[in-house]
Amino acid sequence: MKLLRRGVYKNLYIIFLVGLFLYYLHKTRDTEHLSTVHERLVEKAKSALDRVLENNARDGEGKSVGIIFEDSGIVSGEPQAQIDWHNYTQETAERLRQGPGEQGKPYVLPEGTEKRRQELYETNGFNALLSDYLALDRSLTDIRHDKCKTRHYAARLPTVSVVIPFFEEHWTTLLRTVVSIVNRSPSNVLKEIILVDDGSTMKEFLRAPLVDWLKEHQPKAKVIRLPTRVGLIVARQEGAREAKGDVIVVLDSHCEVMTNWLPPLLDPIVQDYRTAVCPLIDVINMDTFAYYPQDNGARGAFDWRLFYKRLPLRQHEVDRLPEPFPNPVMNGGLFAISRKFFWELGGYDPGLAIWGGEQYDLSFKIWQCGGRLLDAPCSRVGHVFRHAPKGRPSVQGDFLSTVSSNS
């Protein structure tokens, strides 16, 4: 018995020793494995950093300068005189205007409109009837940073094609987008506005009446039709394919641009064609059409579900406002990019459906392919952040995700 017990103890002892050895083996292998992974990661980070540094040095090496913008003949990075691009005649005329929604003020619909208001609200996801009461060329109070009012930009700016995809957009919001662009852009810079109809079928006014109206009132704007709905991103890309201007500016179909919005977007692109620039996005209230800022600028980021987030600016960026600041991820809906660089990046991934995700696709490519993405706070564009229209899943409604979950 005693012998047997000793045998068991002995076995247990051996089992314990073997176990300890195995544990030791496992542990060292694991650590070795971890350290290899770690080394590999460090290696990767180093080479990524090297590439970033190399790309950032490109200006000094002149890799990005000397490129000729095809349409205007302007040379990227060439020293230029700086001028004041403000249109003071337009600004003075706007300051004197009074009426519904003028100066970007909120408006309230008259009595007896409730039923119609409700109908249009449901089909559009915002107070579309109220939009019909406001002038297409309504005035906006200048809410830019004070320093924007005295800023000068390159005297020769590249030409611009504005690309606006739309799907079942409301008549007056679509037209106001076009009118505000034409009225508040230098006419020799604005080459064309390309409205891309992404297969709308429900609204008669988006067909021949739209084309006729544009022909008569806004000949710079044209409509291209996509036979079936392809989604916002492919529609945008189709518009970009049609663009003849040096710079593609992408906007949404329910926007109003603020005074002198274009030169701050274009100036950084003139300096280096491998640049994309975003305006500061203001809010056009979906119920009252009041125009107000959401903030004075923020950096784009995302969480692990790839939901867009806005992070506060860093102190040195705040101190330098309204100087443009680098942005990791664009909001997605509103930006300017040189046509040449956009196609060098291969445009958007054609597999992107409807909306959402495209801001990551393009932003990552911009930063990884030697470009830069800036936000220019002196360029402001208002956007109707709306609910998803009735009958459309929220993901299909729209794409700008900033103020709240609705867009």
Binding interface with Mn ion (CB under 5 A): 252, 398, 400
Closer by beta carbon to Mn ion, 94 or else 252: 252
Closer by beta carbon to Mn ion, 69 or else 167: 167
CB of 254: closest distance to Mn ion in angstroms? 6
| Sequence-ordered list of residues with C-beta below 8 angstroms from that of 171, at least 6 positions apart, any chain | 132, 203, 205, 206, 210
Using a 10 angstrom Cβ sphere, with 0-12 exposed, 13-18 middle and 19 or more buried, the burial of residue 305 is exposed
Strands (E) located in 171-311:
190-197, 221-225, 247-250, 255-257, 275-284, 291-293, 299-302, 308-311
Instruction: Decide: 258 and 184 in contact? Cβ < 8 Å.
Output: yes
CB of 398: closest distance to Mn ion in angstroms? 4
CB of 252: closest distance to Mn ion in angstroms? 4
Residue 187 has phi, psi (to 5 degrees) of -65, -30
Cα–Cα distance, 314 to 298 (Å, whole number):
9
CB of 402: closest distance to Mn ion in angstroms? 10
Report CA-CA distances (Å) from 24 to 13, 33, 342, 351.
Answer: 16, 14, 55, 49
**Parallel, antiparallel or unpaired: strands 153-154 and 82-83:** antiparallel
Strands (E) located in 184-323:
190-197, 221-225, 247-250, 255-257, 275-284, 291-293, 299-302, 308-311
Residue 397 has phi, psi (to 5 degrees) of -60, -50
| Sequence-ordered list of residues with C-beta below 8 angstroms from that of 208, at least 6 positions apart, any chain | none
| Bond into 268 cis (ω within 30) | no
CB of 146: closest distance to Mn ion in angstroms? 29
| Sequence-ordered list of residues with C-beta below 8 angstroms from that of 353, at least 6 positions apart, any chain | 231, 233
Instruction: Decide: 246 and 338 in contact? Cβ < 8 Å.
Output: yes
CB of 380: closest distance to Mn ion in angstroms? 16
Closer by beta carbon to Mn ion, 169 or else 267: 169
Closer by beta carbon to Mn ion, 186 or else 199: 199
Closer by beta carbon to Mn ion, 246 or else 398: 398
CB of 235: closest distance to Mn ion in angstroms? 13
Closer by beta carbon to Mn ion, 327 or else 331: 331
DSSP tally for the chain: helices H, then strands E: 13, 14
Instruction: Decide: 274 and 373 in contact? Cβ < 8 Å.
Output: no
Closer by beta carbon to Mn ion, 169 or else 375: 169
Closer by beta carbon to Mn ion, 179 or else 281: 281
Closer by beta carbon to Mn ion, 69 or else 335: 335
CB of 400: closest distance to Mn ion in angstroms? 5
Residue 393 CB coordination number (10 Å): 8
